[in-house]
Amino acid sequence: MSAPDAPVTAGRPDGGRPVATADLLPTADPREARRVVGRLVADRPVLAIASLLVLVGGAAAGLAVPPLLGLVVDIVTDDRGTGDLAVAAGLLLVAAVVQALLTGVGGQLVVRLGESVLADLRERVVGRALRIPLRRVERAGSGDLLSRIGGDVEIVSRAISATVPTIAGAGLTVGLTVIGLVVLDWRLALAALAAAPIQVFALRAYLRDAVPVYRRQRILEGERTQQLLDAFAGAPTSRALRIGGARLDRVRETSGAARDEALHGFRLLARMFPKLNGAELVGLSAVVIAGFLLVDAGTISVGTATAGALYFHRAFDPIGTLLMLVDEIQEGTTALARLVGVASIEPPEDPADPATPRDGEVVLHGVGHEHVPGHPVLHDVDLRIAPGERVALIGTTGAGKTTLARLVCGIDRPTRGAIRIGGATLDELGPSRAADTVLLVTQEVHVFAGTLGDDLRLARPDASDDELLAALCTVGAEGWVTALPEGLATVVGEGGREPTTTQAQQLALARLVLRDPLVAVLDEATAESGSAGARELERSADGALAGRTALVVAHRLTQAATADRVVVLEAGRVVEQGPHDELVAAGGPYAQLWGAWASARER
Amino acid sequence: MSTAALSPGADGPAAPVAGGRPLLRQVLRERRRPAVVSTLGGVVHQTCEAFVPVLIGVLVDRAIERRDAGELVLWIVVLALLFAVLTTAYRVQLLTLVGGLEHGEHDLRTALARRILAAAGIAAPPRPGAVRSDVGGSAGAQVTVAGSDARRTVDVLEAVSVGGAAIAAIVVTAAVLLATSLPLGLLVLLGTPPLLYALQLLARPLERRSGVDQARAAEAAGVATDLASGLRVLKGIGAERAGAERYRVASRRALDAAVRAGVAQNLLLGANVLISGAFLAVVAWVGGRLALDGTISIGELVAAVGLTQFLVGPLQRLAFASTLLAESRAAADRVSALLDAAPDRDDPRSADHDDAPPPRSAVALAVAPTAAGTPALDVAPGEHLGVATADPAVSTALVHLLAHRGEAPPGALRVDGAPTSDLALDAARGLVLVADHDAALFSGTVRDNVLAAAAAGLDLDAVLDASGADEAVRAIPGGLDGQVGERGRSLSGGQRQRVALARALAAAPPVLVLHEPTTAVDAVTEARIASGVRRLRDGRTTVVVATSPSLLAACDRVVLLGGDGVLAEGTHAELVEREDAYRAAVLS
C-alpha cells in the first residue's frame, strides 16, 4: 500500500521513517566476521584442539565398520572359520563402543566450545549496542538494532548449537569416507568421485533458485508475524470501528503469501532430490563396476569391493545433510557479519580526566540546532536554569521543546552555541559523568521484564529493598507496589503483570530518584496516561524532582503553573519567559494559552 | 465494511472443537488426502531405501563373486529402476505433505484470527480449566498461538506420514530378513523392539531436561530484546552498564543451560550409536556363522548387515515422529483453548448479518443505571454532552457500556428508544462508536488509517482539520502517504492520538463517544481540537468523556459523575462557578 514515491521505506521491517540504507548500523564483511570468531576460538586452544581430535577419532571409529564388514565377507568366502569371525564381530563391537564414546564426548566438547564463543560474542555485541550513541541508533531506525541483538543473535545461536555439530559430524564422515575409500583402493575412490559433478550441479541449481526463495519466505514470515501482532494488539480498536473483516483479510493475505512462497520453495527443493538420488546411483554403480573389474583382475578381494560399496552407501545421508545445510550456513554467516558490525562500532570514550559539575546549574548560550542542514529547529536560545530551579517548557508541536530537552541531556549535539552543566560542557564531563549528572524521562514507557525490584535496580544495582521502597514512596507508588501480593518480587513486563501507564511512568520516576542526578529532564513524562493519571503523575514528578534542577517539557498547563519559571517556545525561539503569574498578567502568548485552558476560572 | 468475512464457515475449521485431541482428529479428517498420499509415498520410498543394501548384496553375490558381467548389467539396471521409483515416491511424499502442512497451517491461523477479531471478543479472565492462563490475554501470546502453535498442530500430518513410513521400513526390513533366514529375521524382529524401547527410555528424561535447559537458554534472547526495546528509557537514566551486566548474567546462565542441554543430547547420541553399533556386530556375527554354514549366501549376508545399518534411519525417524506428535498435542491444546475461548460479550445476533444501520444524523441516547455503577444518562439528539468524573473507574465503566464491551443487562443502552441489545454487536457499534484515547493504529500509511472505517462522502480535509491531524501529518515524513509503522510506532504519541481521532471522526457514526481524546497532545492543539470537533460534529450526537477543561468547555452540557450517580450538571462555566467537586476534578 506504500506510495510509489516512498520506495525507501517499503519493505523495511519497521516500515517506519524513511531511512537511507547508508545510515544502517555497519555490517562487517564475512572475512572480518570469520576472523573475529577465529580469534574467539583461538582463545580456547585446548578445548578447540580436543574437540577436533575427539570428533575425528569418533568418525574414524565409525569408518572402521565397512572394512570390518568386508573382513566378515572375506572370512566367509575364504571359509576361515568361526574363530576369525568372532574376532571380526568383536572388533565391530569395539568400534561401536569407541565411536559411541568419542561421539558423545566430542559432541559435548563442540557444544561447550561453540556456546562459550557465542556467549562471548553476544555479550560483546549487546554491551556495545547499549553504549552506541542514541542518535546513531535512531539514524539507523531502532528496528535495525533490535533485529540484530534479537534476531541475528538467535540465528547465530541456532547455527552454533544445531548446525555446526551436524556439519562437523557429516563433514567428517564424508571426508573420512573419501580417505577410507582411498586406503581401501584408490581406484574405488576415483569411481566414487563420479557422483561429485552431479552433486555440484544440483547444489548450484539449488543455491541459485531456492535460496532467494527462502530469503523471501523469511521476509514474508516476518511480515506475517507483524500483521498478526498488528491485528491482535489492535483487536479492541477494530471491534469498535467494525473493521475486523479488513484486518482478517490482511492476515489472510500475508499468511497466504507466506504459504505460497513456502510451497514454491519446496517445489524447488523437490527438484533437487532426483539429482541427488541420481548422483547416489551413478556413484554406487561406478564403485560396484570398479569393484567388479578389480576383483575380476584379481587386484582386490570380494570383501574389499563389498566394503567399498558399503562405504559409499553410508555416505548418502551425510552428503544430503551437508547440501541441505548450505543455506543455513550462509544465513548464519550473514547474521554473524551483522553482529560483528555492531561490535566494531567504537562507543564514545570518557576523557582521561572528566570534569566534575560544580552544581546543578544549566546554562545554554546561543544554542541553535538543525537536524537537517538548512532546516533549523532551534534559534539562538539563551537560558540559565539555577541549581534547584524548576523550569517548564511550553509550546506547540514542532516548537522545538523535545529538541531542546535532548540537547540538554547530550543525546544530540547543538549545531551552534554551548551547553554547560555546573560549569562544564558535556564533552568535558564525558559520557559516563554526564549520564550520572543529567537524566531524561520521556513519555515513552518501558517496564523491563523481570521483578519490580530488578526493574528498579537497573538504576542502582546495589540498592537494598528499603532504598527501593523509599524511592517508590518519593514518587507516591509505594501504595500499589506494597499492595501487590508479591510486592517488589512481582514479575512485570513482557510475560508478567502489565502495569498501567501511570504505574509504569511512576517506576520510571522512581528509577530517576534512585539514580539521584543533579539535573532531571522530563519530556512530557506525564502525557499518555489519561487526565486523572496525569494529575497523579504530576504529584509523582513533584516528589522525584524535589531538590534537583529540572527542565520539564510540560503538556498540561497545571505543570507550568507550579514551576518556578515558564519558558514559551515558538518555532524554535524563546518568545516569553517568567513565573506563571507574571506571564498571565503580561497578557502575552502564555496568557492566551492559559485563558483557553482555564477559561471559566478567569471569569 | 466486510463484516461477512467474520462470520463462521468462510474457510478453515469452523465447527467449535473441544480440547486438543478432537482438533488433531479434525485436522487429520480435513487433510485426509495429503495424509494418506504422503504416508503411502513415504512407505514406498522407505521400502526402496531398504532394498538398496539388498541389491548391493545381490550385486556382490551374483556379479562380483561369480564375476558375471551379464548379471552386473542386469542388476545395475534394476538398481536404476529402484532409484527411479525411490526418488518419485519421495517427491510425492514431500510435496503432498508440505501442501497439507502449509494449507492446514494457514487455515487454522485464519480461523484463530477470525476468533480473536470477532465482534464478541474474548473474555478477560479465561474460562476455568483453560490450558494457558494468558490465552485470552496479551496479543503477544495470541501471536505465538496463531504463529507457531498453528503450525505445530498441523505437524500431526508429518508425524503420521513420517511415522507410518518408518514403521513400513522396519516391517519390510524384517520381512526381507525373515525370507533370507529365519534366525536372522527373528533376531532383527525381536531385537528391534527392546532396542527402540531402551532408546525411548533413555530419551524421555534426557529430552525433558534438555527442553528445560533450552528454554532457559532462550531467556537470554528475551533479555536482549527487552533491553533493546527499552533502549531510550535505559539510556535516559544512564543505565547502559547495569543493562549490559544484566545481559551478561542472563547470557552466562544461558551458556550453562546450553552446555547442560548439550551433555544430555550427546549422551543420547552416544547411546544411539552404541546400541545400533552393537546390534550390527551381533547381526554380523550371527549372519557370518550362517554364511559359514552355507545356510545363507554371501549376498544375503551383505544384505543383512546392510539392512541392519539401514534400520538406524527408520528407528530414529520413528522417535522423531513420536516427539512431533507430543508437541503437536500440546500445541493443539493451546490452539483449541483460544478457538473456544469464552466471549467477552455474547453476540447471538451476529449471524443475522445486520448490515450497517441506515445513516441517521441526530439520534437520542439513553443509558439505564446498571449494577456496574453507571448512572442514568440521557443525551438529546444532536447534543454535545461532556462527562467528567473524579473517579476514573466510573468513566471507564461508562465507556465499556457504551462500547458494548462486557456483558450488560438488556436495555442498558437505547438509541432512539430501541435497546441496542436487540442488535448484533457490529450493528450496535455502528450506531455508537467509542474512540478510546489509546486506540491502536495499523501498519500502513496515515491515509490508510484515517480512511480505515470512513463513511461515504467523507470530507477528508475537514476531518484532518478538526482532529488536529493536519498538523501532525505535516510533521510525518511522507505526509498522508507516510508509513505509520507497526502499530503506529513510527509516530509520536501525540501524532498517533490525532490520527486515531481523525479515523473516528471519519467514520461519522450517529453517536460518537470520545474517551480522553487529547491526553497526548499539547494544550494549544487541544484547544484547537475541542473547537474543531464541536464544529465538525455539529448537530450530531457526541459524548466527550474527559477531564480536560478545553474539551468540556466546548460541550453544550456537562455532567459530573460520581460513584453514586450524577453529582451536578450544567455548562462547563456554570459548573466551574458553583461546584467545588467539579473544579477539583477538572482544574486541579
B237 and B289 housed in the same domain: yes
A397 and A375 housed in the same domain: yes
Residues of A in contact with B493 (CB under 8 A): 443, 524, 527-528
Of A130, A229, A512, the CB nearest to B244: A130
A437 and A517 housed in the same domain: yes
DSSP H or E stretch at residue B559: strand B557-562
CB pairs under 8 A between A and B: 548
Give the pLDDT score at B357. 56
CB A129 within 8 A of CB A315: no
B407 and B446 housed in the same domain: yes
- Shortest Cα–Cα distance, B347 to chain A (Å): 12
- Shortest Cα–Cα distance, A402 to chain B (Å): 11
B94 and B207 housed in the same domain: no
Contact A149 B224 (CB under 8 A): yes
Percent pLDDT > 70 in chain B is 90
Nearest-by-CA chain A residue for B223: A449
In a domain, A311, yes or no: no
pLDDT band at B137 (very low <50, low <70, confident <90, very high): low
Nearest-by-CA chain B residue for A594: B523
CB B473 within 8 A of CB B464: yes
pLDDT band at B460 (very low <50, low <70, confident <90, very high): very high
- Shortest Cα–Cα distance, A581 to chain B (Å): 16
B391 and B477 housed in the same domain: yes
Give the pLDDT score at A450. 84
Q: Name which of A142-156, A396-410, B87-101, B296-310 the model is least confident about.
A: A142-156
pLDDT tens for B153-199 read 999 999 999 999 998 888 888 888 888 888 888 887 788 778 777 87
DSSP for A296-358 reads: HTTSS-HHHHHHHHHHHHHTHHHHHHHHHHHHHHHHHHHHHHHHHHHHTSPPPPPPSS----S
What are the backbone angles phi and psi of residue A180, rounded to the nearest 5°?
Answer: -60, -45
pLDDT band at B372 (very low <50, low <70, confident <90, very high): low
- Count of domains for chain B: 3
A431 and A489 housed in the same domain: yes
Give the pLDDT score at B16. 45
In a domain, A245, yes or no: yes
In a domain, B318, yes or no: no
Residues of A in contact with B72 (CB under 8 A): 288-289, 292
Q: Which structural domain range is residue B449 located in?
A: 354-586
B438 and B548 housed in the same domain: yes
List, as ranges, residues 28-87 from A with C-beta within 8 Å of B.
62, 65, 68-69, 72-73, 75-77, 79, 81-82, 85-86
Contact A241 B433 (CB under 8 A): yes
CB A424 within 8 A of CB A460: no
ipTM: 0.84
Give the pLDDT score at B5. 33
What does the pLDDT average to over A375-390? 91
List, as ranges, residues 420-439 from A with C-beta within 8 Å of B.
434-436, 439
**Whole-angstrom Cα Rg for chain B:** 34
Q: Does B520 touch chain A (CB under 8 A)?
A: yes
A84 and A145 housed in the same domain: yes
Give the pLDDT score at B129. 34
The neighbour count for residue A145, using CB atoms within 10 Å, is 22
A550 and A527 housed in the same domain: yes
What does the pLDDT average to over B222-246? 86
pLDDT tens for A518-542 read 999 998 766 555 556 777 888 899 9
In a domain, A304, yes or no: no
A136 and A225 housed in the same domain: no
Virtual torsion, Cα A511, A514, A517, A521, nearest 10 deg: 20
What does the pLDDT average to over A39-48? 93
Give the pLDDT score at A571. 85
pLDDT tens for A292-350 read 999 999 999 998 999 899 888 888 878 877 877 877 777 788 888 888 988 888 888 88
* DSSP three-state, residue A113: helix
Residues of A in contact with B500 (CB under 8 A): 237
Cα separation values, B436 from A528, B74, B99, B393, B542, Å: 12, 79, 42, 15, 14
In a domain, B402, yes or no: yes
B340 and B487 housed in the same domain: no
Q: Which of A313, A304, A44 is nearest to B312 (CA)?
A: A313
* Residue B136 in this model has a pLDDT that exceeds 70: no
Virtual torsion, Cα B87, B91, B92, B93, nearest 10 deg: 100
- Shortest Cα–Cα distance, B66 to chain A (Å): 9
Give the pLDDT score at B56. 92
Q: A427-431, B198-202, B539-543: which has the highest mean pLDDT?
A: B539-543
Nearest-by-CA chain A residue for B214: A161
In a domain, A243, yes or no: yes
What does the pLDDT average to over B366-394? 83
Give the pLDDT score at B14. 40
Of A65, A104, A597, the CB nearest to B523: A597
A493 and A586 housed in the same domain: yes
Q: Does B31 touch chain A (CB under 8 A)?
A: no
pLDDT tens for A263-286 read 998 888 888 889 999 999 999 999
Contact B520 A231 (CB under 8 A): no
Of A77, A134, A512, the CB nearest to B232: A134
Residues of A in contact with B438 (CB under 8 A): 528
Distance in angstroms (rounded) separating the CA atoms of residues B505 and A330: 50
pLDDT tens for A115-167 read 899 899 889 988 888 888 888 887 776 667 877 877 788 788 777 777 777 78
| Stronger pLDDT, B126 or A244, i.e. the higher one | A244
Chain Cα centroid distance, residue B419:
35
pLDDT band at A287 (very low <50, low <70, confident <90, very high): very high
pLDDT band at B373 (very low <50, low <70, confident <90, very high): low
Residues of A in contact with B527 (CB under 8 A): 593, 596-597
Contact A446 B448 (CB under 8 A): no
Quick one: angle between helices A195-233 and A316-343, nearest 10?
50
* Residue A173 in this model has a pLDDT that exceeds 50: yes
pLDDT tens for B270-303 read 888 888 888 889 989 999 999 999 888 888 888 8
Which residues are within 8 A (CB) of A133 and not within 5 positions of it... i.e. 6 or more apart? Answer: A347, A348, A411
- Count of residues making up chain A: 603
What does the pLDDT average to over B364-373? 75
A340 and A442 housed in the same domain: no
Of A15, A252, A273, the CB nearest to B110: A252
B376 and B450 housed in the same domain: yes
CATH label of the domain that carries residue A546: 3.40.50.300
DSSP for A55-84 reads: HHHHHHHHHTHHHHHHHHHHHHHTT--HHH
Residues of B in contact with A251 (CB under 8 A): 109-110, 113
In a domain, A4, yes or no: no
Give the pLDDT score at B382. 92
- Count of domains for chain A: 3
Residues of B in contact with A277 (CB under 8 A): 83, 86-87, 90
What does the pLDDT average to over A464-474? 94
Contact B262 A259 (CB under 8 A): no
Q: Which three cell numbers stand for residue A146?
A: 533490535
Name residue B565's beta-bridge partners: B562
A240 and A343 housed in the same domain: no
B339 and B380 housed in the same domain: no
Residues of B in contact with A457 (CB under 8 A): 242
Contact B236 A226 (CB under 8 A): no
In a domain, A305, yes or no: no
pLDDT tens for A155-166 read 887 777 777 777
Distance in angstroms (rounded) separating the CA atoms of residues A350 and A437: 14
B533 and B574 housed in the same domain: yes
pLDDT band at B361 (very low <50, low <70, confident <90, very high): low
What does the pLDDT average to over B463-478? 88
Distance in angstroms (rounded) separating the CA atoms of residues A563 and A552: 9
* β-pairing verdict for A573-578 and A416-421: unpaired
| Stronger pLDDT, A594 or A257, i.e. the higher one | A257
What does the pLDDT average to over B553-558? 93
B270 and B404 housed in the same domain: no
CB B229 within 8 A of CB A146: yes
In a domain, B337, yes or no: yes
Distance in angstroms (rounded) separating the CA atoms of residues A87 and A71: 10
pLDDT band at A600 (very low <50, low <70, confident <90, very high): very low
CB A172 within 8 A of CB A337: no
Percent pLDDT > 70 in chain A is 91
Nearest-by-CA chain B residue for A15: B485
Q: Which of A494, A510, A391, A388 is nearest to A448 (CA)?
A: A494
Contact A263 B98 (CB under 8 A): yes
Q: Name which of A297-311, B180-194, B328-342, B419-433 the model is least confident about.
A: B180-194
* Residue A6 in this model has a pLDDT that exceeds 60: no
Q: CB-side exposure of B466: number of CA atoms within 13 Å?
A: 22
Give the pLDDT score at A102. 92
CATH label of the domain that carries residue B550: 3.40.50.300
Distance in angstroms (rounded) separating the CA atoms of residues A71 and B481: 76
What are the backbone angles phi and psi of residue B568, rounded to the nearest 5°?
Answer: -165, 155
Question: B499-511 as b/e, with b when 16 or more CB fall inside 10 Å?
Answer: bbbbbbbbbbbbb
Q: Is B513 left (phi over 0), alpha (psi -120 to 50) or beta?
A: beta
List, as ranges, residues 536-575 from A with C-beta within 8 Å of B.
555-558
Q: Does B139 touch chain A (CB under 8 A)?
A: yes
Contact B520 A443 (CB under 8 A): yes
In a domain, B313, yes or no: no
Residues of A in contact with B225 (CB under 8 A): 146, 149-150
List, as ranges, residues 100-119 from A with C-beta within 8 Å of B.
100-101, 103-108, 110-112, 115-116, 118-119
In a domain, B253, yes or no: yes
In a domain, A368, yes or no: yes
Q: Does B414 touch chain A (CB under 8 A)?
A: no
pLDDT band at B366 (very low <50, low <70, confident <90, very high): confident
* DSSP three-state, residue B225: helix
Q: Which of B90, B108, B100, B88 is nearest to B36 (CA)?
A: B100
Q: Which three cell numbers stand for residue B321?
A: 515422529
In a domain, B407, yes or no: yes
Give the pLDDT score at B352. 63
* Residue A12 in this model has a pLDDT that exceeds 50: no
Of A240, A446, A599, the CB nearest to B233: A446
A204 and A129 housed in the same domain: no
Give the pLDDT score at B371. 63
Q: Which three cell numbers stand for residue B132?
A: 494457558
CATH label of the domain that carries residue A334: 1.20.1560.10
Q: A18-22, B10-14, B120-124: which has the highest mean pLDDT?
A: B120-124
Q: Does B148 touch chain A (CB under 8 A)?
A: no
List, as ranges, residues 151-210 from B with C-beta within 8 Å of A.
none
Of A89, A436, A603, the CB nearest to B573: A603
* Residue B1 in this model has a pLDDT that exceeds 80: no
In a domain, B360, yes or no: yes
In a domain, B310, yes or no: no
List, as ranges, residues 330-359 from A with C-beta within 8 Å of B.
none
* Residue A21 in this model has a pLDDT that exceeds 60: no
Q: Which structural domain range is residue A255 located in?
A: 186-299
* DSSP three-state, residue B457: coil
B261 and B371 housed in the same domain: no
| Stronger pLDDT, A424 or A317, i.e. the higher one | A424
What does the pLDDT average to over A30-59? 90
Average pLDDT across chain B, whole number: 84
A210 and A64 housed in the same domain: no
B494 and B383 housed in the same domain: yes
In a domain, A228, yes or no: yes
Name residue A461's beta-bridge partners: none
- Count of residues making up chain B: 588
What does the pLDDT average to over A468-486? 90
What does the pLDDT average to over A176-200? 90
What does the pLDDT average to over B469-490? 83
Quick one: angle between helices A302-314 and A164-184, nearest 10?
160
Of B312, B344, B376, which residue constitutes the final position of a domain? B344
| Stronger pLDDT, A585 or B478, i.e. the higher one | A585
Dihedral of alpha carbons B55, B61, B67, B71, sign:
negative
A343 and A240 housed in the same domain: no
Contact A104 B273 (CB under 8 A): yes
Pick from A12, A55, A69 the residue to mutate for testing the B interface (most B CBs within 10 Å).
Answer: A69
Pick from B483, B515, B545, B586 the residue to mutate for testing the A interface (most A CBs within 10 Å).
Answer: B483
Q: Does B117 touch chain A (CB under 8 A)?
A: yes
